[in-house]
Amino acid sequence: MQCCNCRFENMPGVAHCGRCGASLRLATAVIDVHPPRAGALRKRLQGALPGRRAAGRLSNAVRDLMRGVWNRVELPHSLLWPLPWILIPGWPQWSIGQRARGTLFLTVWLLCNLCGLLFFGGPLGNLLLGLGLACHAGSIIDLAFTSVAGGLARTGVIVGGMAITGLLVYRPAAWGIGQIVQPVVITAAAPPFLEPNDVFLYRPAADLPVMPTPGTVVLYNLSRADVASRTGGNQLRFTLEGMRIERVLATAGQKAAFAGGRLTVDGQPSPWLPLNPGRLPDNLTFELTIPARCCLILPTTSPQPELRGRWRQAGQIPEDPIWDAPAALPANSGRGGATTDARPFWERMSVVRVDAVIGSVFLRSQPLSRFERIR
């Protein structure tokens, strides 16, 4: 019996070679030359279900593709395959000696992302973030065409690299940024503070204290309310709802008083005023004790009502539905049997529950001419 390893002739029946010690059992093993075949029923099922064959072909193609990618990529083995050169733009070019190109990719990517975060939420910010993403994709594509041979292998590197980058870099980054800052775009004007297309950044309420402090500019939800206004002797009905931006002036348990254009909180002059103090009526006077889990917000940034059609052609200007309305209309005022709230409408809208606060506004990012930090 000849050893297949060293060609030494051994005695029949021995288990190991006497010269090199290799196993001789394989030489004596009985090998079935008739491999197992599929039965008649299984063959019929495979013919009736062509999707199984397509799935098998797809699986084989993916396996061959990955095998070809691993065999054809020409990168230094010192790299921790494949994360570093995929997750950092410009790293692949540095690893193959193209430092100028790698530095260009990394610099453009950093500039686009930093400027995009600065103008986050507006069209300019979205454009810059998109350019940063395109630069990262360009780094992966450049790697595929400079270090990978074969069209199939290049496609695998490009698709796989972008998928890994999206899952490990941009998906977690988008989630993390959303937990820290969110944008809001103004659609209706409330001059002089709010103009259409202004973009503000705010911190979500989950990152804020339980009770916002006086002076904080917040984004909050205005409860739906119907209010009556008049113009030219005719009564109009407005519906107010949606998100508003305004400053918190007092919090739960504090006693707020307003007279002569000055605000006092617990008997002390307050340095804070609403964002549009010029919209407050000249004769506004009140004394309020803020209820529990509520805060005082004088609504001066709600959009002014705009008349259309024959009202606008007549040049009639409606009353301010917040400050001039005597009381709010009930929700079912058109059905009969309802009474109005005796309090002035502005008082109802000024005491806001903490649950309605969405976040604290800290920056106006766009337009560039109105860029400012909100305090």
Q: Indicate whether 90 and 213 sit together in one domain.
A: no
Q: Indicate whether 213 and 345 sit together in one domain.
A: yes
Q: Indicate whether 75 and 154 sit together in one domain.
A: yes
Q: Judge whether 326 and 343 are in contact, CB under 8 Å.
A: no
Could you say which of 162, 180, 198 is where a domain stops?
180
Please name every residue paired with 231 in a beta bridge, in sequence order, or none if there are none: 234
Q: Judge whether 361 and 374 are in contact, CB under 8 Å.
A: yes
Q: Indicate whether 369 and 224 sit together in one domain.
A: yes
Pairing type for strands 199-204 and 328-329 reads unpaired
Q: Indicate whether 166 and 253 sit together in one domain.
A: no
Residue 54 placed within a domain: no
Q: Indicate whether 24 and 107 sit together in one domain.
A: no
Q: Indicate whether 295 and 161 sit together in one domain.
A: no
Q: What is the pLDDT of residues 308-350, one digit of tens each?
A: 444 444 444 455 666 665 544 444 444 444 444 556 777 777 8
The verdict on pTM exceeding 0.75 is no
Q: How many domains does the chain have?
A: 3
Residue 40 placed within a domain: no
Q: Residue 307, CB half-sphere, CA atoms under 13 Å: how many?
A: 21
Q: Indicate whether 169 and 309 sit together in one domain.
A: no
Residue 41 placed within a domain: no
Q: Indicate whether 21 and 105 sit together in one domain.
A: no
Q: What is the pLDDT of residues 26-55, one digit of tens each?
A: 655 666 667 677 677 777 766 666 566 666
Q: Indicate whether 164 and 194 sit together in one domain.
A: no
Q: What is the pLDDT of residues 250-259, one digit of tens each?
A: 998 899 999 8
Identify residue 268 by its one-letter amino acid code.
Q
High-pLDDT (> 70) share of the chain, %: 69
Residue 113: domain span: 71-180
Residue 36 placed within a domain: no
